[in-house]
Amino acid sequence: MSAIANESGPAVLLVSNFLSGWDGRRTYAEDLAARLEGAGLRIRTSSRLAFKPARLADMVLAAAGGRGAYELAVIDVYSGQAFFWAEAAARAARVAGKRIVLVLHGGRLPEFAARHERRVAALLAGADAVIAPSAYLEQAFRRFRPDIRVLPNAIDLRAYPFRIREQARPRLVWLRSFHQIYNPVMAIEVLERVRRRHREANLAMYGPDKDGTLALCRKRAAELGVADAVRFAGVVPKEQVGRALAEADIFLNTTNVDNTPVSVIEAMACGLCVVSTDAGGVPFLVGDGREALLVRPGDADGMVEAVLRLLEDAPLCRRLSAAAREKAQEFGWESVLPLWMDLFGSLRLAREVGR
């Protein structure tokens, strides 16, 4: 690791959502903050406030130096309203004379950038470094910044019990927010068709309801006569995700929009056989027939066929399961944290050379 980890002095400010105190769901930013502190960096964070106007004000105040001295701001950039928050925080940090690292997030960000090209270009041009968690976003934003670094989202591999799926059982799992862009209703429809050949098939669905889609899933399960085979398990605490996933053998990712879904990485870490749509950045994460089976977004028939293949082809299960775990190891903190430290070290070196 870079020597920066052991130095005292100004802190690194992380500007993102740190809301586990309100909803109990630990964010990736919170994990990153803890890992960076464990590596010896002084970390400041913003914001832990749930009320949106107050959270925006807190982010801007922190970036302006209102929380005390810091050297470098790491600002998460999402689409929609959150983009303008990042823009405001970056402006405050720039006025304060701080270095800025922008971290791109979300499968909808390329679409947003197409509608707001000038603002996106200006924001990225003013940063000292821009990070993408996937080659998908790096490629999508290369026209704005040719020097974007890929630093993948990381997981603690020890939290995900692994076993090779020698023969997949018809135990399916879905884990995501219940939102229309993730198309959870499709998972219900897949289960119903799989049960026509495997009557014992069941599905566990984990996640918070974001837009009323959970009620639609319950209704669809009742309409299709599979309500007794679907378990709506609610939000699972981060530390229990691995154990929850490990109970199943096949992971369904039905999304219509995606970047590099951490839930898929978590499933692979457990050795589950993954069946996913090829939306957004998913093909940049896994190869069809290599670490997962991929279908087009909305293709319930294709997903049913893929699940049936897994249930009836033991060698395929074993191959995908082993390859999935091997792929997931690339996302362990042991691999990703040194990349962050190298980034901080190079920015400090660039500053000192520029003096």
Q: How many residues does the chain have?
A: 355
Q: 3-state SS of the chain?
A: CCHHHHCCCCEEEEECCCCHHHHCCCCHHHHHHHHHHHCCCCEEEECCCCCHHHHHHHHHHHHCCCCCCEEEEEEEECCCHHHHHHHHHHHHHHHCCCEEEEEECCCCHHHHHHHCHHHHHHHHHCCCEEEECCHHHHHHCCCCCCCCEECCCCECHHHCCCCCCCCCCCEEEEECCECHHHCCHHHHHHHHHHCCCCCCCEEEEECCECCCHHHHHHHHHHHCCCHHHEEEEECCCHHHHHHHHHCCCEEEECCCCCCCCHHHHHHHHCCCEEEEECCCCHHHHCCECCCEEEECCCCHHHHHHHHHHHHHCHHHHHHHHHHHHHHHHHHEHHHHHHHHHHHHHHHHHHHHHCC
Q: How far apart are CA 303 and CA 252, in angstroms?
A: 8
CA-based nearest residue to 89, from 80, 76, 79: 76
pLDDT tens per residue across span 295-306: 999 999 999 999
pLDDT at position 20: 80
Q: Are residues 34 and 149 in the same domain?
A: yes
Q: Are residues 116 and 248 in the same domain?
A: no
The values of phi and psi at residue 151, to 5°, are: -125, 100
pLDDT at position 74: 98
pLDDT at position 353: 45
Q: Are residues 78 and 180 in the same domain?
A: no
The answer to whether 232 touches 214, Cβ cutoff 8 Å, is yes
Residues contacting 149, CB < 8 A, separation 6+ = 129, 130, 131, 132, 138, 339, 343
Q: Are residues 166 and 123 in the same domain?
A: no
pLDDT at 349 over 90: no
The answer to whether 145 touches 124, Cβ cutoff 8 Å, is yes
Instruction: Categorize the per-residue pLDDT at 3 as very low, low, confident or very high, splitting at 50, 70 and 90.
Output: very low
Task: State percent of the chain over pLDDT 70.
Answer: 94
**CATH label of the domain that carries residue 96:** 3.40.50.2000
Mean pLDDT across 96-117: 95
Q: How far apart are CA 143 and CA 74, in angstroms?
A: 22
Residue type at 234 in one-letter notation = G
* CA-CA-CA-CA torsion sign (174, 177, 178, 179): negative
Tokens of 2: 């870079």
Q: How far apart are CA 126 and CA 197, in angstroms?
A: 57
Q: Are residues 162 and 295 in the same domain?
A: yes
pLDDT at 67 over 80: no
pLDDT at 354 over 50: no
pLDDT at position 1: 33
Mean pLDDT across 14-34: 86
pLDDT at 202 over 50: yes
Q: Are residues 170 and 139 in the same domain?
A: no
pLDDT at position 9: 54
Mean pLDDT across 128-148: 96
pLDDT at position 69: 87
pLDDT at position 261: 92
Q: Are residues 322 and 349 in the same domain?
A: no
pLDDT at 102 over 80: yes
pLDDT at position 2: 35
Q: How far apart are CA 210 and CA 166, in angstroms?
A: 36
Q: Are residues 305 and 202 in the same domain?
A: yes
If one compares 278 and 7, the residue with the highest pLDDT of the two is: 278
Mean pLDDT across 124-153: 96
Q: Are residues 29 and 57 in the same domain?
A: yes
Q: How far apart are CA 243 and CA 282, in angstroms?
A: 24
pLDDT tens per residue across span 215-259: 999 999 999 999 999 999 999 988 999 999 999 999 999 999 998
Domain housing 20: 3-154+332-353
Q: Are residues 55 and 174 in the same domain?
A: no
Mean pLDDT across 98-116: 95
pLDDT at 24 over 90: no
Mean pLDDT of the chain: 93
Task: Residue 284: count other Cβ atoms within 10 Å of its Cβ.
Answer: 17
pLDDT at 6 over 50: no
pLDDT tens per residue across span 141-161: 999 999 999 999 999 999 999
pLDDT at 176 over 50: yes
pLDDT at 350 over 70: no
* CA-CA-CA-CA torsion sign (55, 60, 65, 71): positive
pLDDT at position 19: 85
Q: Are residues 105 and 244 in the same domain?
A: no
pLDDT at position 59: 97
CA distances from 74 to 40, 83, 142, 260, 286 (A): 17, 14, 20, 20, 28
In the chain, how many domains are there? 2
pTM here is 0.90
Q: Are residues 145 and 11 in the same domain?
A: yes
pLDDT at 4 over 50: no
Instruction: Categorize the per-residue pLDDT at 25 as very low, low, confident or very high, splitting at 50, 70 and 90.
Output: confident
